[in-house]
Every structure is written in structure tokens, then in C-alpha cells.
Structure 1
Amino acid sequence: MSADDVMAFTVQALQEMNYYTDDTGPDSLLGPAGVDLDSLAVSELAMRIEDEYGVTFDDDDIETLAIMTLGEFAAEVAKRAALVAQADGVRG
């Protein structure tokens, strides 16, 4: 899975959460200056990502997500998902 896949999933999740995404791209901020996610929405998005990709976010991560761009967020999720897949491969 690539960062582009994560970005597409994230945009779809945002649409399902009733956020306007027509102008949303890799440089769009997730927080107030961009998509305008509040803390509850960031938490919901994180849960959707966790369910889809098997990655986890702690409380500090949730705060950081709001200041990331969509591209940065997608790259971070892709990196974490690759680490999870690698760890699962080692265990399996």
C-alpha cells in the first residue's frame, strides 16, 4: 500500500464524515487552516485509519495529526503500516 492509497482512503473517510473535500490535496492541512477537523473528528479519522490499516495512534499522535498536511499524514500511515506488515511477517 502506498501513501496515495492512504490519501484516497482518507479523502473517502472525510467525505463519509461530511467534510468538503473537493479542493483537498496533499498540501491541505487537516486542522483548522485546511480541512478544519476538530479534535473529535481527528480522533474519528484516526480510528478509521487504525481499523483499515492496523496502525495505532497514541494521544500525542492525535494532537500532531491536526497540524499535518494530508500528504504528510498519508506518508506517516503508509510508513507505520509497512512496519506493522514487516513485524507480522517476522512473527508469522
Structure 2
Amino acid sequence: MYDEMREFVIGALEEMSFPTDDLADDSLLGPDDLGMDSLAFAEVIVQVEERYDVRFGQDEAGGPTDISLASFVERLVKSVEIAKAEAA
């Protein structure tokens, strides 16, 4: 699921006009690097919720600042897996 989620997140970032050509797993997403702020993170999380038909708690998916693409994707994958398990 990691690869699928990674591609989804990159697609969402592209739709929001963030530069993704040089985006690597260790690229930091926060305001000082890629330029994501808390609103951009929230938008990606909402898109993940809609795509995977899950709802995250306030702290489940994490927040912005100095998080790498890989860490953000791993956190989203874990949150989706937990949400689906709880719904079953």
C-alpha cells in the first residue's frame, strides 16, 4: 500500500501546484523545503480520506513542518490501516 499511497500523495501535491519533479522519499515537505503549510497538509489528508473512504482523528495523520515524504506516507498508510480495521 505504501507505493500506492506515495503516488497518490505526489499526485495530490501536483494538483496543488507543488513541484514534485525532484521529490524523493527523504525530501522534507514543510514550509522551508517543499513549501507545504498546515492547510496544504490538511488538503492532502482530506483527499486521502475521500479516496480511501476513511476518517482520521485530529492527531492520526500528523501535521506539517519537518516531515519527509516517506514519513508522511508511512503515517498515512498506518492511519488508513487502523481506520479500516476499526470499521470492520
Please tell me the TM-score bracket, short chain as reference: 0.7 to 0.9
Report the equivalent of 1:56: 56
The amino acid of 2:30's aligned partner reads: G
Structure 1 residue runs without a partner (length 5+): none
In 2: Cα distance, 1:55 partner to 1:28 partner: 26
Percent identity, aligned pairs only, is: 30
Q: 2:47 aligned with 1:87, yes or no?
A: no
The amino acid of 1:41's aligned partner reads: A
Structure 2 residue runs without a partner (length 5+): none
Q: Secondary structure at the match of 1:29?
A: coil
CA RMSD of aligned residues (A): 2.0
Q: 2:48 aligned with 1:14, yes or no?
A: no
Bigger helix share: 1
1:30–1:36: 8 Å Cα contact kept in structure 2?
yes
Per the normalisation by structure 1, the TM-score is 0.79
